[in-house]
Structure 1
Amino acid sequence: MTDCVFCLPLVEPYVVLSDEHCYTTFTHDTGTPAGSAMILPRAHRPTVFDLTPDEWASTRTLLHRMRALITELHGPDGWNVGWNTQPTGGQSIPHAHCHLVPRYHDEPLAGRGIRSWIKDPDNRPPHHAPADPAAWYGN
């Protein structure tokens, strides 16, 4: 795909670590925590569900390597790791990318994880899940 901003060679100058299947880059959005990064497949894959087994293995390896690098550079106190998939799931660029977000004890929302918005009662859609978890499984 030639017009994807996450496809190589367009993003090549920003690559931090790489192997034959995936690469890492720091997140360049303003306002992201120091050391925030992404792991992406070299091939254009629209979502995490499109990754090959080799890309999954590469993502895991590069995730660990990037975490070590960010720890050395910034010394975070915690982490968020996650995938946004499709526009409703928060994916703004249709090229799979795993976010590695360092968290710091002195940030205003420290302690709020990636599910904090799910737990917020103000974020319930009209057809929200039943309150009784047993009902999720048809019990």
Structure 2
Amino acid sequence: MQLRPECPFCHPVYDLEQRIVFETANCWFLQHEKAQGVLEGSGVIVPKQHRASPFELTPQEWQETQELLGLVKPFLEKIAPDGYTLGWNVGEASNQSIGHSHLHVIPRFNDEPYAGKGLRHWLKKPENLRPGKSGDAR
């Protein structure tokens, strides 16, 4: 298995604030203590083998990602979210801060200040239009 010594997702047990909630043969669902303040219940699904992006996942890793989503949803129902935001950041331009593929699983609540604002909310604003481009960001 290809692992990188500096990668927190290759070695989740090295970070005492990160816990493995669910595990399959090839993937983990992790929650980090620092994320629980604002993003209650949030976590990430990561392949155990170092993959830079979801474009590199094996068919087995995709299957196990789906399997973990099936475990995570009932687990998160104890905090009674009103919805979920699921998302991948791939590359620097997308704000991927850890170079190991990870699917964000973020419970959402109707009483949040940003309720109703999903992944595209900020991206489709006119101020995000690239210089020299024109168009409608639906």
TM-score if structure 1 supplies the norm length? 0.86
Structure 2: stretches of 5+ with no match in the other structure: none
Q: Look up the SS of the partner of 2:106 in the other structure.
A: strand
Alignment equivalent of 1:5, drawn from 8, 17, 20: 8
Query: What is the alpha-carbon distance in structure 2 between the residues aligned to residue 25 and residue 59 of structure 1?
Result: 12
Cα pair 2:87 2:104 within 8 Å, conserved: yes
Q: Mean alpha-carbon deviation: is it higher for 122-131 or for 110-119? A: 122-131
Query: What is the alpha-carbon distance in structure 1 between the residues aligned to residue 43 and residue 137 of structure 2?
Result: 37
* Structure 1: 4+ residue segments shifted above 2 A: 8-13, 27-32, 127-133
Query: What is the alpha-carbon distance in structure 1 between the residues aligned to residue 105 and residue 47 of structure 2?
Result: 15
Residue 77 of structure 1 pairs with residue 82 of structure 2: yes
* Equivalent in the alignment of 1:38: 44
Aligned-residue CA RMSD in angstroms? 2.1
Q: Could you report, residue by residue, the CA deviation over 1:47-100 in whole angstroms, capped at 9, with x for unpaired residues?
A: 11111110001001101211110112x110011001000111110000000000
Q: Identity, % of aligned pairs? A: 36
Of structures 1 and 2, the larger Rg is shown by: 1
* Equivalent in the alignment of 1:106: 111
* Equivalent in the alignment of 1:136: none
Alignment equivalent of 1:26, drawn from 14, 31, 48: 31
Q: Look up the SS of the partner of 1:85 in the other structure.
A: coil
Q: Mean alpha-carbon deviation: is it higher for 93-102 or for 123-132? A: 123-132
Q: Could you tell me how far 1:11 is from its partner in structure 2? A: 5.2
Query: What is the alpha-carbon distance in structure 2 between the residues aligned to residue 20 and residue 89 of structure 1?
Result: 29
Query: What is the alpha-carbon distance in structure 2 between the residues aligned to residue 132 and residue 68 of structure 1?
Result: 35
Aligned length: 132
**Larger proportion of helix:** 1
TM-score if structure 2 supplies the norm length? 0.86
